[in-house]
Amino acid sequence: MTTTVSPTQTAQAFLTDLEQAIAHAQDTGDVGAVTDLFVDDCYWRDLVALSWNLTTAEGKDDLAAMLTATLPTSAPGNFQLEGEATEDDGVTTAWYTFTTPVLRGKGLMRLRDGKCWTFLTSAQELLEFPENKRTRRIKGAEHGVVPGRKNWLDRRAEHKETLGITTQPYTLIVGGGQGGIGLAARLRRLGVSTLVIDKHPRPGDEWRGRYYSLSLHDPVWYDHMPYLPFPDDWPVFTPKDKMGDWLESYVKIMELDYWSTTTCTKATFDDATQQWTVEVERNGESLTLTPTQLVLATGMSGIPNIPEIPGADTFEGDLVHSSQHSGGAAYRGKKAVVLGANNSAHDICGDLFENGADVTMIQRSTTHIVKSESLMREVLGGLYSEEALDNGIDHETADLIFGSIPYGLLADFQIPAWNTIREQDKEFYDKLEAAGFMLDFGDDDSGLFLKYLRRGSGYYIDVGASELIADGKVKLKAPAHITEIKPHSVVLSDGTELEADLIVLATGYGSMNGWAAKLISQEVADKVGKCWGLGSGTTKDPGPWEGELRNMWKPTAQQNLWFHGGNLHQSRHYSRYLSLQLKAREAGMNVNVYGQAPVHHLQ
C-alpha cells in the first residue's frame, strides 16, 4: 500500500532535518549536512536575520560560505511550520517561524522533491528590544493627583524645543518623503531617537509641488505606509495632493520629529567619536547636529541629470528638468518639446496636451510600456489587490512573498506574466510601434520590475498618454536627440528643427551616491560606489552580479552611512530591516555583518 505524503508533512520533515543539521554544524563547524538538504541551484535570501545584512547565497558553495560565517553567532533554531504547506507544479511552498539568540524571524521556503530550492530568512523583531506596541504601549496619562503635572502637549513641546539643540538624535534622516518618515516611524516604535529633516515647508510638499494631473501609477494595495494602511475607500490611484495630505497627517499621527524648511549643507564623519557633524540651515538659521547614524532618504534617485546641450543658454522660452515642471496650464496654444520617453515624460506630455499645448516627445532609446490595468491584473493582482486580501494575503504577507523570490530567479517568475500581457495587448503595442514608438520588454523580456531594479528607468505604466502617442495627438520623434537649442527652437539629430516655447528635460536622475558627493565628499561617494542596480550586466546595470540592490538598506563602505529609498512598497518593506539594524547598533548589540559592501575606488 502506497502512503501519500502531504505537502505539510514534506515541509515539516525538511524543517526537522534542517534544525538537526544546523545544530550539528554549530557543534562541528561542518555545514555539509545543511547544504545537503538543498538542491544544487539553491538560493538562501537573508534579510538581517543571520547576516545583519541583505544578502543572497546562490548555489551550494555560496551557501556553505554564508553558513560557515554566520551560524556560530546567529544560531537559528526553533523552526516552526506556520499554517498548511501547498504544492503546485512539483514545488512545495510553506511559511515558517524561527528564532536566534537575539531576534524572532519569519520565512518562506520552496522545496523540490523534498530538498530546498529557495529559502527566505527575515528578521521581524529583536527579542530584547521589541516595538512599543500593544501590551507595551505607553500609558499616556498618570492617574491621581500629580502637582506640577505636564500634559502630553507640554511634554511634546518641550521635546521639540530640545531635540537637535541641547540633545542630539541618534539617527538623522535627510529627506522627509514617504521613505524617510516611514523609517522614522519604525525607529520611534523601537525607541531610537530620530530626527527627519526636509527642505520643504510641510511634509508632503514634494508631492503637492508636482504637475497638476499627477497621481500614483501603482494601486493602493501596493502603496500602504508602515503601521497606517490607507482607509478602505481610498482611491485606487492616489492623487498627488491627497498623497501630500496623507504624508503630513502621518507625521503628526506617528509623532515624528520632523524639521521642515531645513537643508543639509555639509556632513563629515569623525572616526574617533563615531559621530557625524552635520551642518544644516533651518528657516535661515545655521545649526550643527551630531548624530551617530546618517540616513540619506532622498528617494531611489540622485541629483537630476541635466544634459549639456549647445545653445541652452540662448533659449528664450522655459527650459526645465521634469522635476521642476509644475503643470501645463501656462502653455495653452504654445509649442512644447519633451526630451525623454519614460514615466515622467509621458505624464508631462499628457498634462501638456490636456492643457492645449502642441507637444512633441523626443524618444532617444527604447521604453517598456505596460497598461496599468494589465499590470494590476497579471503581475500585482495575486499579491496586491482586493482578491488577494480576500485570500488572506495582506500587504505585509505580500511583501514577504515577493521578497522571498531571489533576484536571480525573478526573471523566471516574471517572464510568463509579461508574455501574457504582450499577447493580450498586442493590438495596443502594434499601434504604438506603427506610430514609430520604440518598445522593449527589458533586456531579457522580464518586464517592468527587473528593468526598474536594474536601472530605475526605461518604462512607463500607461494611464493614457500612450494612446495620445499612438493616435498622433502627441507628436513623436524617434530615435532622436536634441543636438542644439536656439532662442525659439530645438535642432534634432536627424536635422529636424522644431519650434519651442517650452523644453522639458525628462532625462532622469543620477545615482543616489550623488547626494553623498554633494553633502559629504566625492571621496566618500567613490568609496561607497553606486547605489541601486543588481550588477546584471544589462543596459545601465554593469556587472559584476551582486544578487541584491547595491548599498540599499544595508551597511555601506562608509561607516554609519545608510541609503533608504525606492517606491512605496520597497520603502515600507525594507524600512523594517534598516530600522532593526539601526536599533541593534544603538543598543550596543554584537553585530557581525556578513557580506560587507566593498570599498570602491571610482574615478
C-alpha cell recorded at residue 277: 557633524
**Residue 464 scores a pLDDT above 60:** yes
pLDDT at residue 158, as a whole number:
94
How far, in Å, CA of 25 to CA of 73, rounded?
12
How far, in Å, CA of 75 to CA of 22, rounded?
8
Rounded average pLDDT over 484-511:
95
How far, in Å, CA of 48 to CA of 124, rounded?
9
How far, in Å, CA of 264 to CA of 218, rounded?
31
| Proportion of the chain above pLDDT 90, given as a percent | 86
**Residue 584 scores a pLDDT above 80:** yes
pLDDT at residue 423, as a whole number:
96
Residue 448 CA, chain-centre distance (Å), reads 14
Do residues 589 and 578 lie in contact, with contact meaning Cβ atoms separated by under 8 Å?
Answer: no
pLDDT at residue 603, as a whole number:
41
Domain ranges of the chain: 7-126, 156-302+512-533+547-586, 312-505
* Nearest Cα residue to 181 out of 137, 230, 147, 228: 228
Which residue bears the cell 547605489?
A: 531
C-alpha cell recorded at residue 185: 516611524
* Nearest Cα residue to 302 out of 122, 530, 115: 530
List, as own/partner pairs, every contact residues 126-134 make where C-beta atoms lie below 8 angstroms and the sequence separation is at least 24, other chains included: 126/102, 126/190, 126/580, 126/583, 126/584, 126/587, 126/589, 127/99, 127/101, 127/102, 127/103, 128/102, 128/587, 129/190, 129/191, 129/583, 129/587, 131/186, 131/189, 131/190, 132/189, 132/190, 132/191, 133/189
Residue 525 burial (10 A CB sphere; 0-12, 13-18, 19+): buried
User: 17-26, 98-107, 205-214: lowest mean pLDDT where?
Assistant: 205-214
Residue 517 belongs to what H/E stretch? helix 513-519
Rounded average pLDDT over 248-267:
97
**Residue 400 scores a pLDDT above 90:** yes
What does DSSP assign to residue 14?
Answer: H
Q: Domain spanning 156-302+512-533+547-586: which superfamily?
A: FAD/NAD(P)-binding domain (3.50.50.60)
What is the dotted CATH code of the domain comprising 7-126?
Answer: 3.10.450.50
**Residue 457 scores a pLDDT above 80:** no
- β-pair partners for 226: none
Rounded average pLDDT over 548-576:
96
Rounded average pLDDT over 581-593:
97
Alpha helices in 315-472 (DSSP H): 343-354, 372-374, 386-390, 395-403, 407-424, 426-434, 448-455, 465-470
How far, in Å, CA of 369 to CA of 465, rounded?
11
How far, in Å, CA of 506 to CA of 321, rounded?
6
Residue 20 CA, chain-centre distance (Å), reads 36
pLDDT at residue 323, as a whole number:
87
Strands 171-174 and 293-296: parallel
Adjacency order of strands within the sheet including 194-197: 258-259, 194-197, 171-174, 293-296, 561-563
What is the dotted CATH code of the domain comprising 312-505?
Answer: 3.50.50.60
% helix, strand, coil for the chain, step of 5 = 35, 25, 40
Fold: same for 7-126 and 312-505: no
Residue 270 burial (10 A CB sphere; 0-12, 13-18, 19+): exposed
Do residues 360 and 498 lie in contact, with contact meaning Cβ atoms separated by under 8 Å?
Answer: yes
Rounded average pLDDT over 442-470:
88
Rounded average pLDDT over 536-562:
93
Q: pLDDT-based confidence at 303, cuts 50/70/90?
A: confident
Mapped onto helix, strand or coil, the DSSP state of residue 423 is: helix
Which residue bears the cell 549647445?
A: 310
**Residue 602 scores a pLDDT above 60:** no
Query: Which carries the bigger pLDDT value, residue 210 or residue 559?
Result: 559
